[in-house]
């Protein structure tokens, strides 16, 4: 018997209403009743990192990774909304996809992933 999917993502926040609004307005996540969100079918990754990994900030226990279909358009929208976007050439991996990073208003790292088209 195995898990069949992600049932929810729960985030502690200093200002839960403001943070929920930010995710809804900028990423389209959690707009339904009780924060319901129905992602498209596609690959998901669950992996662990060493506690001192520099892949994401060492003062954070997790990093959200959201799959997107048009990374360039998403980054343009986020940038125009005043959200700092970080990209690095080494984050674009042939056969794996393209990546970018942002942070929510409470400093939580978010990775945006555009998988390669099959």
- In-domain check, residue 66: yes
Domains of the chain: total: 1
pTM of the model: 0.88
**pLDDT tens, position by position, 68-92:** 999 999 999 999 999 999 999 999 9
Residue 84 belongs to domain with CATH number:
3.10.180.10
DSSP the chain: ----S--------SSHHHHHHHHHHHH--S-SGGG---PPS---------TT-SSS-TT-S--EEEE-S-HHHHHHHHHHTT---B--GGG-BTTTBEEEEEE-TT--EEEEEEPPP-
Is 8 within a domain?
A: no
On whether residue 3 sits in a domain, the answer given is no
Average pLDDT of the chain to the nearest whole number: 92
Within-domain flag for 20:
yes
Quick: pLDDT tens for 8-63: 898 899 999 999 999 999 999 998 898 999 998 888 889 999 999 998 888 888 89
Is residue 99 assigned to a domain?
A: yes
Domain region containing 91: 16-30+55-114
């Amino acid at each position: 018997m195995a898990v069949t999917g992600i049932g929810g993502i729960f985030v502690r926040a200093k200002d839960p209403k403001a943070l929920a609004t930010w995710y809804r307005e900028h990423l389209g996540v959690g707009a339904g009743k009780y924060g319901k969100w129905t992602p498209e079918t596609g690959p998901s990754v669950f992996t662990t990192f060493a506690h001192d990994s520099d892949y994401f900030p060492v003062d954070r226990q997790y990093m959200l990774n959201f799959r997107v279909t048009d990374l360039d358009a998403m980054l343009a929208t986020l940038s125009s909304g005043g959200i700092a976007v970080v990209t690095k050439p080494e984050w674009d991996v042939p056969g794996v996809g393209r990546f970018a990073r942002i942070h929510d208003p409470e400093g939580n790292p978010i990775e945006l992933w555009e998988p390669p088209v099959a």
